[in-house]
Amino acid sequence: MKLTGRGSGLSNIGGGTVELTDDSVILMKKNTAISGGGLIGLGIDLATSSKGAHSIPYEQIVSVHISMGGIMSKPFIQILTAGEKSIGDAQEAASSPNCLSFSKSAASDFEQLRGEIESRSRASKKQTQTVQPSNGGGVADELGKLAGLLNAGLLSQEEFDAQKTKLLG
pLDDT digits (tens, 9 = 90+) for 96-140: 888 888 888 888 998 999 999 999 998 888 776 655 555 556 777
Rounded CA separation 33/91 (Å): 9
Task: Provide, rounded to the nearest whole percent, the portion of the chain with pLDDT above 90.
Answer: 13
pLDDT of 50 > 60? The answer is: no
pLDDT at 31: 55
Residue predicted with more confidence, 109 or 9: 109
C-alpha distance across the termini of the chain, in Å: 43
Domains in the chain: ranges and CATH: 2-119 (2.30.29), 129-168 (no CATH)
Q: Which of 14-18, 29-33, 129-133 has the lowest mean pLDDT?
A: 129-133
pLDDT of 69 > 90? The answer is: no
The reported pTM is: 0.61
Work out the mean pLDDT of the chain and round it to a whole number.
76
C-alpha to C-alpha distances, 154 to 6, 33, 52, 90, 130, nearest whole angstrom: 35, 40, 33, 33, 10
